[in-house]
Chains A and B, each alone.
Chain A
Amino acid sequence: KAGVTQTPRYLIKTRGQQVTLSCSPISGHRSVSWYQQTPGQGLQFLFEYFSETQRNKGNFPGRFSGRQFSNSRSEMNVSTLELGDSALYLCASSLSPLYEQYFGPGTRLTVT
């Protein structure tokens, strides 16, 4: 079975731009979560989607948003990028919200 895939793997953007990151979960997994990892704050939960509905959201500003499609693929969007948004963005999938998660390789976003 293929693992969680994330695209793109690397991205460079300029302050003020917006960005969309994509995550394809393991086949059959319906729950997708997103995490941000920075050297200063470590790993932090962004949001969780299950069956196209956002179930939980972390403490991030409204510039961070996401969605999940009927095939369980998910996207997250960051608008009006700031330098502090430079991070590794990780996606994880599971069969459902109560099951163990499996992580993707991440998208490394650099904001200049």
Chain B
Amino acid sequence: KNEVEQSPQNLTAQEGEFITINCSYSVGISALHWLQQHPGGGIVSLFMLSSGKKKHGRLIATINIQEKHSSLHITASHPRDSAVYICARVPPTGTASKLTFGTGTRLQVTL
């Protein structure tokens, strides 16, 4: 079993829909990182959070430490949101660099 599990693996939505991507982890963390990867490979850091909720534009990330679960929400989805979304565990070992990644959720938003 992977330390970091994501669901769903693939997601297709229509423009304007509310989207939720889930991430569960089985071992301790100091924080959880949400990343976005577009075709071509470049990765953009969306959020790093260790508790509660963070919001940036139409993106919202939440984390429940007790339940070892985090969600990424996209409100009013748009075709430009089409990408792979990856969550990554930041270990509680004094570094935010040694990330353990989920397998990613491939999101396609259609018109």
Q: Kindly list chain A residues whose C-beta atoms are within 8 Å of the C-beta of B95.
A: 48, 55-56, 97-98
Q: List chain B residues, Cβ under 8 A from A68.
A: none
Q: Is A11 an interface residue (CB 8 A)?
A: no
Q: Is the interface of A mostly helix, strand, loop or mixed?
A: strand
Measured in the bound complex, the distance between the Cα atoms of B37 and A37 in whole Å is 12
B residues near A103, Cβ cutoff 8 Å:
35, 42-45
Contact B101 A97 (CB under 8 A): no
Contacts of B99 in A (CB 8 A): 33, 35, 43, 45, 101
- Interface hits, A45-97 → B, CB 8 Å: 45, 48, 55-56, 58, 88, 90, 92, 94, 97
Q: Whole-angstrom distance from the CB of A47 to the nearest CB of chain B?
A: 9
B21 to chain A, nearest CB (A): 16
Q: Which residues of A contact B44 (CB under 8 A)?
A: 103
Indicate if the CB atoms of B41 and A45 lie closer than 8 Å: no
B55-111 contacts to A, CB under 8 A, are 86, 88, 94-101, 103-104
Which residues of chain B come closer than 8 Å to A98, judged between CB atoms? 94-96
Chain A contributes a number of interface residues (CB within 8 A of B) equal to 27
Q: Is A106 an interface residue (CB 8 A)?
A: yes
Neighbouring B residues of A100 by C-beta, 8 Å: 33, 45, 48, 96
**CA of A103 to CA of B100 in the docked complex: distance in angstroms?**
15
Contact of A101 among B45, B86, B103, B104 (CB under 8 A): B45
A42→B97 contact, CB < 8 A: no
Measured between beta carbons, the chain A residues less than 8 angstroms from B86 are 43
- CB within 8 Å for A97 and B41 given contacts A42-B101, A42-B103, A44-B101: no
| Chain A CB within 10 Å, residue with most, of B35, B48, B98 | B98
Given A37-B41, A92-B97, A97-B94, 8 more pairs with CB closer than 8 A? A31-B97, A43-B101, A88-B41, A90-B41, A97-B95, A100-B48, A106-B41, A106-B43
Interface residues of B (CB under 8 A from A): 33, 35, 40-45, 48, 86, 88, 94-101, 103-104
Give the top 4 A-B pairs by smallest Cβ distance, nearest first.
Answer: A103-B43, A43-B101, A33-B97, A48-B97
